[in-house]
Amino acid sequence: MSAESESNSGLLRSLVPPDQVDRLFGVCGAHGWKLLAASAVVGALPPLLGLQQGYYMTVISEMFLFAILALSWDIVGGQTGYPSFGNMAFFGIGAYTTAILIKDFAISFPVAMVVAGLVAVAFAAVIGAVVLRLRGHYFAIATLGVLLAAQQISRNLDITGGASGKILLEVPSGTVFYYLFLGVLVVEMGVVYYLSNTRFGFILNAIRDDEEKATAMGFNTTYYKTAAWMLASLFTGVAGGAYSLFNTFIDPQTAYNGAWNVELIAMALLGGSGTVAGPVIGAFGLHTVIEVVETAFVGWQLVLLGIVVIVTVIGFPEGAVGTLREYASEMEYYKRGGMAATDSGEEVSADE
Amino acid sequence: MAFTQFVVNGLLIGALFAAVAVGFALIWGVVDIINLAHGEMVMLGGYTSYWVLTLVTGNAEGSPLLFLVTIPVAILVLFGVGYALQRTLVSRVIGTDIFLTLLVTFGISIAIQQLALQAWSANPRSIQVSFADPSFTVAGLVVPKMKLVAFVGAIVLTAALYLFLQKTRTGRAIRAVSQNPEAAALVGIDVEHTRAVTFGVSSAIAGGVGAFIATILNIQPQMGLIYTLKSFVIVVFGGVGSIPGALVGGLLLGSVEELTAGFISSRWTLAVSFTLLIVLLVVKPQGLFGEGAEQ
C-alpha cells in the first residue's frame, strides 16, 4: 500500500505535503465537537435558504439516511470487527414497526418511531446473543441468514401486508424528514465520537484487534459486543422507522434490501472504516455517484455498486480517511530519516 | 403416502442442491474463500444452456438428448468464468482479512446479477424438455422423468468431481494446495493456477447443475444468492471438505424444503431454510461429517 503511494506521489507531495495533512488530522482531533457542530449547522442551512422540496431535497435526505446506516454498520463492523451482512434486518424491522403502528393502530409518528427503535434493539439483543458467538465466515453468513429469514417472514405474514407490503398515504413533508435524518445523524456521530474516546470504545477496538487478549484482560467481550450491536440497531431501527414514511411505501424487498447492506458496507470502507467521519464521507460520496449514475443510466447503478465494491476492496481497503492518515504519518517516518536515502530530502525539511 | 411422495420429491431436488454445495465447499476448502458469487454460477449455467438451446431450436424447447448436449457447453463456459474470476480478482485478496474476501465475492455477485438483469430482464425463464410421457409411477409414487434425469445428472457431476479429486494429477494438486500451499509450491505445484482451476471446476459443476435447474424449476438473474445460502447450509451441516457430507446435507435440505412446502406452504420454504442455517451455525458449527471447521 505505501509502496504504491510513494511511486505516484511526487507532485502530490509538493502540492499537499504529508505533514499538512497530519496537521489537519490534528486540528480535527482537537476540535471534533466544534467541527461536528459546524457541520450540523451547514447541514441545516439548505431548507432555510429555500430548498423546500423536489429532487435535491430527497437526495440530500437520502445521503443523511445512508450516512446513519453506514455509521451504524461501522460501530459493529469497523470498531468491533464483526462485519455484519444483516444490518438491514434492523432497518426492515424498524420500517415495518412504524408502518404497522401508524396504519393499523393509529399511533402518532414520533411515538411510532421511538417504538421502532426499541423493537429493533430488542430484536438485536435476542439475535446478538446468538450470532455474536460466531466469528469470521460464520458470523457474516449467519447475519446474512438473519436478514433473508426476516425478509421471508415479513413476506408471509398478514400483518406486514405480505409480498405487496404496506402503503402509507398521510406522511409529513420532506423538510421534516430532512431534519429528522440530519438530527439522528448528528446525534449518532456525537455518540460514536464520544464513545471512541471512552473505555467502552477502547474495549470495542480491543475486541476487533484481538478478542482473545481482550477476554484475557478480563473484559466480558460478549457484553460489549452485544452493547455495540444494540447501539447500532437503535440508530438503524429509527432510520428504518422514518424511512417507511419517507418512502410512503414499504415491502419486503425494500425493507430488507441485501444490496443496500452491501452498499453501506462499501460506504464505510470507502470513507474509512473504524473512524467517525469515514463512513459519513463515504456515504455522501458513494450516494452522489450512485445517484448520478441512476439518473444517467437507469438500472446500471447496482452494476456500478458491484464494481465499486470490488475496486475498493482490492485497491484501497483502508478507505479515504485511512489512506490519508497513512499518507500523513509518512512525514513522521521521514523526520526520523527513514527513507532519506531513497527519496529527495529537501521535501522533508521544506515545511518544517 | 403424501409424506413419502414429498420425501421423494425432496431427494430428487436435494441432489441438485448437493452438487452446487460440493463446488462451494471445494472453493472454501482449497482457496479458503466463501464464494458469495457461487449462486451466480448456477444462474449463468442455466442461461448458457437456455441460450444454446434457443440458438439451436429457435425456442428453449428440445428433446432430452439435445438438452443433455448443452450441459458440456455450460460446464466449459462456467469453467472459463470461474478460472478468470479467480485469476483476475479473487486471487488479489487471498490471505487478507476474511471480511474483504467476502466483500469481493459479494461485489462480483452483485455485478454479475445486475449485468444479467440488464441483458436478459427479470422475467423467469425455463427450458422445456419434451418427453412422450412426462412422469411414471412406481409403487404409487409419481416420479417426473425430468427430475429423475436432473437427479442422475447431479449425482454424476458430484461423482465426477470426487473421482477427479481422487484420481487425477490435477486433483491431487488441488488437495495438496488445500492442505498446505507453501509445501505444494515447494514440490513444484503452480499454486495460483491450481486455485484458479479449483475455482473453475467448482463453477463448472454449479453451471452444469444450473442447466438442470432451468428445466425443472426456473432461472432468473436474482436467483443466485438463495443457492449460495443453501450451499452454505449444506456445507455447514455436512462439514467443510466432505463430499459425502455435502451429499447427505443436500438430500436432507431438499427433503426438509419439500416437506415444508407440502405440509405448511411453499411460501415458507425459504424462511425455514434460512432459519435452519442460523440454528445449525449456532448449534453445530463444526458439521456432522467434517474435519471440524476452525472458528
pLDDT, mean of each 10-residue run, chain B (295 residues): 84 91 89 88 93 85 84 93 91 81 87 90 86 76 86 92 91 90 90 92 94 89 87 82 83 89 83 82 64 42
Kindly tell me if the per-residue pLDDT of A325 is higher than 70: yes
Average pLDDT along chain A: 82
Residues A259-303 have pLDDT tens digits of 888 888 888 888 888 888 888 988 998 888 888 888 887 778 788
pLDDT of residue A238: 93
The cell numbers describing B256, all together, are 426438509
Structure-block grid coordinates of residue A159: 400483518
Check: CB of residue A166 under 8 Å from CB of residue A240: no
- Using DSSP's 3-state secondary structure scheme, residue B143 falls into strand
Instruction: Report d(CA B163, CA B171) in Å as an integer.
Output: 8
Show which of residues 246-285 on chain A sit within 8 Å of chain B, judged by CB atoms. 258-259, 262, 265-266, 269
d(CA A15, CA A112): 52
Cα–Cα–Cα angle for A6, A12, A17, rounded to 5 degrees: 90
Distance CA(A305)–CA(A313), nearest Å, equals 12
Q: What is the ipTM of this complex?
A: 0.78
Report the pLDDT value the prediction gives residue B285, as an integer from 0 to 100: 62
Candidate from A83, A153, A309 with C-beta closest to B107: A309
Residues of B with CB below 8 A from A300's CB?
A: 114, 118
Residue A245, min C-alpha distance to chain B (Å): 27
Between these two residues, A342 and A96, which has the higher pLDDT value? A96
Q: How far is residue A99's CA from residue A242's CA, in Å, rounded to a whole number?
A: 9
**Residues of A with CB below 8 A from B105's CB?**
none
CA nearest to A152 within chain B: B271
CB pairs under 8 A between A and B: 129
Model confidence at A186, pLDDT cuts 50, 70, 90, reads: very high
Q: 155-174 in A: which are within 8 Å (CB) of B?
A: 155-156
Name the amino acid, one letter, at A248. T
Interface of A with B in 120-149 (CB under 8 A): 130-131, 133-138, 140-142, 144-146, 148-149
Nearest-Cα residue of chain B relative to residue A163: B267
Asked if A313 and B109 come within 8 Å (Cβ–Cβ), the reply is no
- What is the model's pLDDT at position A115? 93
Q: What is the pLDDT of residues A100-149, one digit of tens each?
A: 998 888 888 889 999 999 999 999 999 988 888 888 778 888 888 889 88
pLDDT digit string, tens, across residues A192-231: 999 988 899 899 989 888 888 888 888 888 889 999 999 9
Instruction: Say if the Cβ atoms of A299 and B118 lie within 8 Å.
Output: yes
Report how far residue A148's alpha carbon sits from residue A140's, in angstroms, rounded to the nearest whole number.
Answer: 13
Name the residue facing B271 among A149, A258, A299 (closest C-beta).
A149
Search chain A and give the residue with CA nearest B231. Answer: A141
| Cβ contacts of A157 on chain B, cutoff 8 Å | none
CA–CA separation, A242 and A244 (whole Å): 6
Backbone angles phi, psi at A338, to 5 degrees: -55, -60
- The answer to whether B98 contacts A140, with C-beta atoms less than 8 Å apart, is yes
Please report which confidence band the pLDDT of residue A235 belongs to, taking 50, 70 and 90 as the band edges. very high
pLDDT tens digit sequence for B144-194: 888 888 999 999 999 999 899 989 999 999 989 988 888 999 998 899 999
- Cβ-count burial of B167 within 10 angstroms (0-12 exposed, 13-18 middle, 19+ buried)? exposed
CA angle A230-B103-A136, nearest 5°?
55
Pairing type for strands A249-250 and A166-167 reads: antiparallel
Per-residue pLDDT tens digits for A4-58 = 444 455 666 666 776 777 777 777 777 778 888 888 888 777 777 776 667 888 8
- As a whole number, mean pLDDT of residues A237-248 equals 90
Domain ranges of chain A: 53-257
Q: Give the gap in angstroms from C-alpha A137 to the nearest C-alpha of chain B.
A: 7
Name A286's Cβ contacts closer than 8 Å, sequence gap at least 6: A66, A263, A266, A267, A270, A308
Determine contact: A310 vs chain B, CB below 8 A.
Answer: yes
- Cα dihedral A192, A84, B222, A98, rounded to 10, equals -50
Do the beta carbons of residue A280 and residue A189 sit within 8 Å? Answer: yes
Report the pLDDT averaged over residues A305-320. Answer: 80
Indicate the residue of A130, A152, A303 with minimum beta-carbon distance to B111: A303
Give the contacts of B114 (CB within 8 A, at least 6 positions apart).
A299, A300, A302, A303, A305, A306, B221
Q: B2-283 is classed in which CATH architecture?
A: Orthogonal Bundle (1.10)
- Closest C-alpha to A203, from A83, A75, A80: A80
Determine phi and psi for B91, rounding to 5 degrees. Answer: -60, -25
pLDDT of A1 strictly over 50 = no
